[in-house]
Structure formats: structure tokens, C-alpha cells
Amino acid sequence: MEQSGSSPRGPLVHTLLDDAAAERPDAPAVRDARGGWTYRETVDHSHAVAAWLKGRGVRPGDRVLVQWPTDRRLAAVLYGVSRVGAALVPINPDTRPFQLQAIVTSAEPRLVLTADDRDLAWKEIEDLHGSGARVDSSGVTPEDLAVLVYTSGSTSVPKGVVEPHAQVVFATRALVAELGYRADDVVFCRFPVSWDYGLYKVLMCAAAGCEIVLAGEESDLTLLRRIREVGATVVPIVPSFATMIGKLADRESAPAENRIRLFTNTGAALAPATATRLREAFPGAVVVRQYGQTECKRISVMPPGEEHERPDSVGRAIRGTRVLILDPDGDEVPAGELGEIVAAGPHVMPGYWREPEISARTFRPDPVTGEPRLHTGDFGRLDEDGYLYFHGRVDDMFKRKGIRMSTLEIEAAAMDIEGVRAAGVVPPSGDRDLAICVETDLASHVVLRELAQRLEPLKVPSLCHVVEKFPLTRHGKNATKELAAIIDEVVAARARAATDRAATR
Ligand code: ASP
């Protein structure tokens, strides 16, 4: 497929779709649990959405907040909003009213589409589709805002990452090239468009001219069957999803023919044992490690085929971009040394929506050249060949008895223990010492003993608590606040029990 951005209309979200439709109008484009559309049908539906939005008073520069489940209708809305020159604000259907209100106040959308009025809206859109509605998009420019992606990050108030067409299309094309998506691929996407992981999967499939299967509404139990049924060749994963697929594969009565050629991971580090399990269950599949932040979409990708050469690395800067490691004074450190990971290039977004102060701290142009740069707040190092090693967020680093360590290294050691399905470290705070929460059938003292064989004594937690169901965020990352609350509760219960024992003596 075309990679050069040569469309006369410039790099725009909907031109990704239009270019694919011009080349392969009858190829399958997007499928969900209820059916599928070809590229031509997706274009037609996106025009109908655009006409409907215009009829509802949406104008260029407006925001359209959409809290719909991720299916092909939402894909049509993504392109339809782009055609009218407005910006999509995709919101997870599970977002609670309290958070939604904060986002509405921040985004000031012209239109809010909730799941409740989806069927009614869609009926009107189908009528316009039937009458062959077409919308002119000639006024939309690459600098216009295409999407506002709200992330909760480490603060409690969600921040909207400003994503203009130019940055979105650049990152989309760079990732298609990096991962080698092909026109005959079928990409099985479990993630919602409200998370940039799901959003860019839709766009990357259009850029490659291949098919996306939006599977967010499928039940966990039928996932592997669906993956087989639709003939998926590429499966984006996060660690918890990868573990689930591995387990489902264990339950298959007979090994099925494998069509998956690529698993791509992001969001959190994939334990080597999970990657190995996937390779065993899906012979021939490559497991790609990646690292990214919404603020520039993706930072690095391990080129498929190089996965075994540097097993601890999260890959190289995506093409056309750079990764720098800076010391606290903003100077680059030599290869091998730790510092803050900073991303530079055309994928760096302009900032957070209406948050000038936090934007100025996070998005700091190169002091000499003025090139846009994203300060990630993550620590890492580069090797001599430019491969990146991720060491954790600033928040993941802590000191215990004067020694600096990271939750990630302790969690990695725990995940190395056979039988540990999930692990989350809670750093010391106040009277609470270093603790770890694990999901496993092993006894807690066994986990601690195994950890002691893998870590220096100071890095071994003083408390290990076994949970039945490990708390994860919606995106499969460790839910750190919940983990801390669980440990606090265990510590408090132990203190109460100790007091009771003392009282009865
Ligand atoms: N933007 C990230 C990526 O795609 C996902 C994340 O925010 O964790 O790599």
C-alpha cells in the first residue's frame, strides 16, 4: 500500500480509509460480532455519519464525544467525524458519570453520543446511507485536531491528549511499516477505540488495506474460537490478555492449525514465560515487544524477527523518530547509562487539551533546534546500537534502606516463578514495608522463598499476599492504588490480630 502520504488532501484520518477504498473497494475492511463491511461500504457509512453530524450542527473545530462500544459503527463515526473537520473524543462505555462529567467539562463537545441513543442515531444514519449522502472535506487540514484521547495517567483528573491528523497519520504509517502489516492480514482487536491502542489498530488496518475484527464485546471464553474462526493473523495483546489466550490454548482438545503470525504487546512488560507460552501454543508466531505513551502514540518497537537477540529490550525508536536518554539537566547521557526517556519526532503530540502548565512540563521542545520532544517521566537506557531498555516510571522507583530499586525488577522476578500468574509490588510508605501481591496457587512463603533466590536480600518484600483475582486497570496494567489498598488492609488486619492476641494473654 501507499506509504508516502502523497494524497493531494494531505495526511488526514479519513484519507487513510479513502486511499484503501480506492485501491481495494471490495476487500473486507471491518468486522464485528454482527457482520462486516468492505472498504467501499465503510466509506459510504462514514459519509452518512458525516452528513448526519452536519445535520446535528457539528462544524469544523467542534468536538464530538462518543461513548459507544467499539464495533464497526464506531469505526464509521471515527472517519465521519474526521470528514466534517471535527475531533472525536472516544470514551470507554464503562467510564463512570463522575469521570465523564470531568471530561465533558474539559472537552466542551458540541455533541455527546451515549450508548443509550446509539440505535436511534444509527437508524437516522442508515437512512442517509440509503440516500447516498456525500460530504465535502476539502477544508480539513493536517494541523486540525482529529482525536482527543483522555488518559487518566498518574493524576486523578483525566487529561486530553491533543492528536492532530498529521501526527496520527504519521504514527499510523510508521507502525504499519515497522510491524509489516500486509493487505491480506486479519487483525483481531480486543481493545476499545477509547484507548489509543484500539484506535490506531483501526487506522493501521486502513493504512495497510487489511481487515480488522473488533472483538471488544466477545466473551473471554470464546475468544480463541473467534480468533480461529475469523482467521486472525495478527493479535495485539497486553500481558493479561496474552495469559488468557495461553490458557484457552491449553484447553483446546486438539491443536488447531495456526494462522497467527504476529502477537504485538504494549501497555505493560510481557513476562518472558508468557511470550514462550504463546510461541509454543501458536507455532511460527512472532511476539513483538513495544513501548509507548499516548502522548506520542508509540515510542519503540522490537522489529519482528529480532525478538530473541535482545530479550530485555523494548526495541528501537519507530522510524522517522528518535529516542534520547537525558540526565536531570537535559543533557544526553552516554550509551548504557540510565536517564529519562525522551521521544523526539513528528509523532510527538502538541500537548494536553487546555492544560498549558502540565503541557509545558511534559512537551518541551529541543532548546537548540526547537524540535518537539516528549518527556515521558520513564527511566531507561539505550545500548550502543540504539535499542531501548525500559526501567520503569519515576513512580515505580523507590528507596528501601537507602538502596534505589524499581517495582518492575521485583515484579519481573515474581513472574519468573512457575505458577505466578500476576504480581504487583507495593513500595514502602510510612510504617508499611515493601510488599507484594500475587495471583497464584502457591503459598505466600513459597513465593518469598523463590524471590529470595532471585533478588538481593534488600529487594525481597517483607510481606507477600496471595489474591484470587489480581486487580488490573481496564487496559491490563497493574491497578496500583487498589494494590496499595489491599496491602494496607492486610497490614491493618495483622496489627488488629496482634493487639487482640496481646490483650488475651
Ligand atoms: N500508547 C501505548 C502504545 O500503544 C499504549 C499505552 O498507552 O500504554 O504503545
What average pLDDT does this structure show over 429-453?
94
- On the 0-12 / 13-18 / 19+ scale of CB atoms within 10 A, 438 is buried
Three-class SS state of 180: coil
Beta bridge partners of 398: 405
Reading the block at residue 146, the C-alpha cell is 482529529
Instruction: Give the model confidence (pLDDT) of 13-41 as tens digits.
Output: 999 999 999 999 999 999 999 999 999 99
What is the whole-number distance in angstroms between the Cα of residue 120 and the centre of ligand 1? Answer: 33
**From atom 3 of ligand 1, which residue's Cα is the shortest distance away?**
292
**Dist. CA 285–CA 232, nearest whole Å:** 12
User: Is 1 a residue whose pLDDT tops 60?
Assistant: no
Residue whose C-alpha cell is 453520543? 113
Q: How confident is the model at residue 466 (pLDDT cuts 50, 70, 90)?
A: very high
Q: How confident is the model at residue 402 (pLDDT cuts 50, 70, 90)?
A: confident
- On the 0-12 / 13-18 / 19+ scale of CB atoms within 10 A, 36 is middle
Q: What stretch of H or E contains 208? A: helix 196-208
**Dist. CA 33–CA 27, nearest whole Å:** 18
Q: How confident is the model at residue 6 (pLDDT cuts 50, 70, 90)?
A: very low
**From atom 9 of ligand 1, which residue's Cα is the shortest distance away?**
292
Reading the block at residue 3, the C-alpha cell is 506509504
Q: Report the relative pairing of strands 159-164 and 186-189 from DSSP bridges.
A: unpaired
**Dist. CA 133–CA 261, nearest whole Å:** 39
**Dist. CA 401–CA 8, nearest whole Å:** 61
Residue whose C-alpha cell is 467499539? 70
Task: For the chain, list the domains and their CATH numbers.
Answer: 1-26+36-167 (3.40.50.12780), 312-393 (2.30.38.10), 401-504 (3.30.300.30)
| Residue 163 amino acid letter | E
Dihedral, 246, 250, 252, 256 alpha carbons, nearest 10: 60
Averaged confidence pLDDT in the chain: 93
DSSP 442: S
Mutate to test the pocket of ligand 1, among 161, 293, 378, 388 (most ligand atoms within 8 A of CB): 293
What is the whole-number distance in angstroms between the Cα of residue 435 and the centre of ligand 1? Answer: 27
User: Is 5 a residue whose pLDDT tops 50?
Assistant: no
Q: Report the relative pairing of strands 286-291 and 300-301 from DSSP bridges.
A: antiparallel
Residue 243: partners with Cβ closer than 8 Å, 6 or more residues away: 274, 277, 421, 422
What average pLDDT does this structure show over 137-156?
87
Q: How confident is the model at residue 392 (pLDDT cuts 50, 70, 90)?
A: confident
Three-class SS state of 331: coil
As separate numbers, helices (DSSP H) first and strands (DSSP E) second, the chain gives 14, 23
Reading the block at residue 270, the C-alpha cell is 510481557
Beta bridge partners of 393: 378
pLDDT of residue 9: 63
Name residues contacting ligand 1 (CB within 6 A): 196-197, 266-267, 290, 292-294, 297-298
Instruction: Give the model confidence (pLDDT) of 158-209 as tens digits.
Output: 899 999 999 999 999 999 999 999 999 999 999 999 999 999 999 999 999 9
Alpha helices in 296-435 (DSSP H): 356-362, 407-415
How far, rounded to the nearest angstrom, does the alpha carbon of residue 102 sit from its chain's CA centroid? Answer: 22
User: Is 3 a residue whose pLDDT tops 50?
Assistant: no
DSSP 117: G
Residue 259: partners with Cβ closer than 8 Å, 6 or more residues away: 186, 228, 231, 232, 233
Mutate to test the pocket of ligand 1, among 298, 318, 323, 348 (most ligand atoms within 8 A of CB): 298
**Dist. CA 77–CA 63, nearest whole Å:** 12
